[in-house]
Amino acid sequence: MSSPSGPWPGPTGAPTGPDDAPAAVAQPGGWPPDPGRPRGPFGLTPSPTPRVRWGLWAFGVVELVFLGSSAVLGLTVGVDSAPEVLLAIAVPTLLAALTSILWTTWRGDGPAADLGLRFRWEDVGVGLLVGVTGLFVTVPAAVGYLYLVGPDLSTSIGVAFEGIRASWPVALAVMFGVVVVAPVCEEVVYRGLLWNAVAKWISRPWLVYLVTTAVFALAHLELLRAPLLFVVALPLGVARLLTGRLTASIVAHAVNNFLPGLALALMLVGALPAM
């Protein structure tokens, strides 16, 4: 009696040869099969930290741009009106962020890859959740700091605009700078450029988080406020940790700055006393 040709069948449902292997899921538009992305906490899909081609010296260049432009504007622009103060504060921050983006475009793989400057709707939700939750930490910390040091040292931007009055359009422009411009620019520099530069040397994400948070607090050059700034920045780094991208930390930063920005606008139009 002759034996049947071909391979003997294996257990029920098991592949018996290459032709029986499960096929990869085809993707539309000619894209290669998607092997599936690893899920992070809460079912999120964090982007992996890139291996950038630049290092900490790139952050040093950006800081030099920030400090140099701040010094030039401090010598050439007055501080007698709200537009002048806004210009002196916003321009160095904008130049620092623009330098970060241009640097990654010139020396790296672009801001989307090197800085995590990608947009996803889930990141907006994460940023809102982390930002609002973080207020339960940052607001008591700010109140405690105010109690310890007094109102004169509680906020540097409030001191910068002290005694200045402005129209509603100018006050809203200042609020926009505090709530939108500052979060975008600072996140690009600190949770984008600095974060990935530090990650090139430190493999543990939580340690990168702590180092960049400390540098963020110290880089404002206000040693008395550095402990408060460290606490304020903690939720921002959490948003970056959860997603691996900047959208979440930008939104969380904007949530954190909303109340101070609103208070500053009301102060400029005379609806609130000076901070």
Query: Does residue 16 register a pLDDT over 50?
Result: no
> How remote is the C-alpha of 3 from its chain's centroid?
68
The string over 10-27, giving b where at least 16 C-beta atoms fall within 10 Å of a residue's C-beta and e elsewhere, is: eeeeeeeeeeeeeeeeee
* φ/ψ (deg, to 5) at 207: -75, -40
Taking the CA atoms of 231, 233, 235 and 241 in sequence, report the sign of the dihedral they define.
Answer: negative
Residue 231, in any domain of the structure: yes
CA-wise closest residue to 52 among 99, 101, 97, 115? 115
Residue 150, in any domain of the structure: yes
DSSP secondary structure letters along 84-142 = HHHHHHHHHHHHHHHHHHHHHHHHSS-HHHHH-----HHHHHHHHHHHHHHHHHHHHHH
**In this prediction, what percent of the chain has a pLDDT beyond 70?**
80
Do residues 195 and 216 touch, judged by C-beta distance below 8 A? no
Q: How many CA atoms within 13 Å lie on the side-chain side of 90?
A: 16
Do residues 213 and 234 touch, judged by C-beta distance below 8 A? yes
44-89 pLDDT, tens per residue?
Answer: 677 777 777 788 999 999 999 999 999 999 888 877 889 999 999 9
Supply the pLDDT for residue 31.
41
Supply the pLDDT for residue 79.
78
- Rounded to whole angstroms, how far apart are CA atoms 181 and 69? 17
- Rounded to whole angstroms, how far apart are CA atoms 241 and 94? 24
110 vs 39, which has greater pLDDT? 110
18-38 pLDDT, tens per residue?
Answer: 444 444 444 444 444 444 455
CA-wise closest residue to 168 among 273, 267, 274, 269? 269
153-209 pLDDT, tens per residue?
Answer: 556 677 788 888 999 999 999 999 999 999 999 999 999 999 999 999 998 999 999
Query: Does residue 119 register a pLDDT over 70?
Result: yes
The number of domains in the chain is 1
What confidence tier does 133 reach under pLDDT thresholds 50, 70, 90?
A: very high
pTM reported for the whole predicted model: 0.81
For the stretch 120-125, contacts whose Cβ atoms lie closer than 8 Å and that sit 24 or more positions apart, written own/partner, are 120/243, 120/245, 120/247, 122/44, 122/45, 122/243, 123/239, 123/243, 123/245, 123/247, 123/248, 123/251, 124/247, 124/248, 124/251
Residue 50, in any domain of the structure: no
What confidence tier does 243 reach under pLDDT thresholds 50, 70, 90?
A: very high
Residue 104, in any domain of the structure: no
| Structural domain range at position 244 | 115-154+161-268
Supply the pLDDT for residue 47.
75
Query: Does residue 11 register a pLDDT over 50?
Result: no
Residue 140, in any domain of the structure: yes
Residue 70, in any domain of the structure: no
219-236 pLDDT, tens per residue?
Answer: 988 888 899 999 999 999
CA-wise closest residue to 187 among 109, 139, 119? 119
Do residues 53 and 72 touch, judged by C-beta distance below 8 A? no
**In this prediction, what percent of the chain has a pLDDT beyond 90?**
62
Residue 46, in any domain of the structure: no
Residue 274, in any domain of the structure: no
Supply the pLDDT for residue 70.
93
Report residue 179 as tokens.
């709530």
Supply the pLDDT for residue 42.
55
C-beta atoms surrounding 193 within 10 Å: 31
